[in-house]
């Protein structure tokens, strides 16, 4: 099995997706993902230069709705899904990143 993706890269992608993997899992997925990438590379080898890019399988374009207000959820309904609330807002532990 060729390895198109290393366990280290798998671990990096897992971190971005906030997935917790053991070393064994990272090894396993590296091997499985490599075979998926092998398949992609088979497709890549085909000559498709005169084909139009398929951006969406349905073939539909320009589907829009009119700009008119539809009533949504009440504050109470929205917050019913919150882990915790304060001052009418979703309350979560502080997250490092950008100051608001």
Phi, psi at 85, each rounded to 5°: -140, 155
Closest CA to 21 of 3, 9, 5: 9
| Whether 33 contacts 66, CB under 8 Å | no
Q: Round to the nearest angstrom and report the end-to-end CA distance of the chain.
A: 47
- Which residue of 43, 46, 51, 60 would you call a contact of other proteins, by CB under 8 A? 60
Q: Rank residues 1 and 55 by Cβ distance to other proteins and give the closer one.
A: 55
User: How many residues lie near other proteins (CB under 8 A)?
Assistant: 42
Element (H, E) at 85: strand 85-86
Angle between helices 23-44 and 7-16 (to 10 degrees): 100
Interface pattern 8-47 for other proteins (x via CB under 8 A): ----xx--xxx-----------------------------
Q: Does 86 help bind other proteins (rule: CB under 8 A)?
A: yes
Smallest gap from Cβ 71 to other proteins, in A, equals 8
Q: Rank residues 46 and 83 by Cβ distance to other proteins and give the closer one.
A: 83
- Where along the sequence are the contacts to other proteins (CB under 8 A)? 12-13, 16-18, 55-56, 58, 60-70, 72-75, 78-79, 81, 84, 86-100
């Amino acid at each position: 099995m060729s390895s198109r993706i290393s366990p280290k890269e798998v671990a990096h992608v897992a971190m971005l997706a906030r997935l917790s993997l053991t070393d064994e899992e990272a090894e396993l997925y590296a091997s499985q993902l490599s075979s998926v990438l092998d398949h992609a590379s088979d497709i890549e080898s085909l000559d498709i230069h005169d084909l139009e890019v398929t951006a969406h399988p349905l073939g539909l374009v320009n589907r829009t709705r009119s700009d008119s207000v539809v009533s949504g959820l009440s504050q109470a309904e929205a917050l019913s899904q919150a882990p915790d609330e304060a001052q009418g807002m979703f309350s979560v532990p502080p997250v490092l990143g950008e100051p608001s």
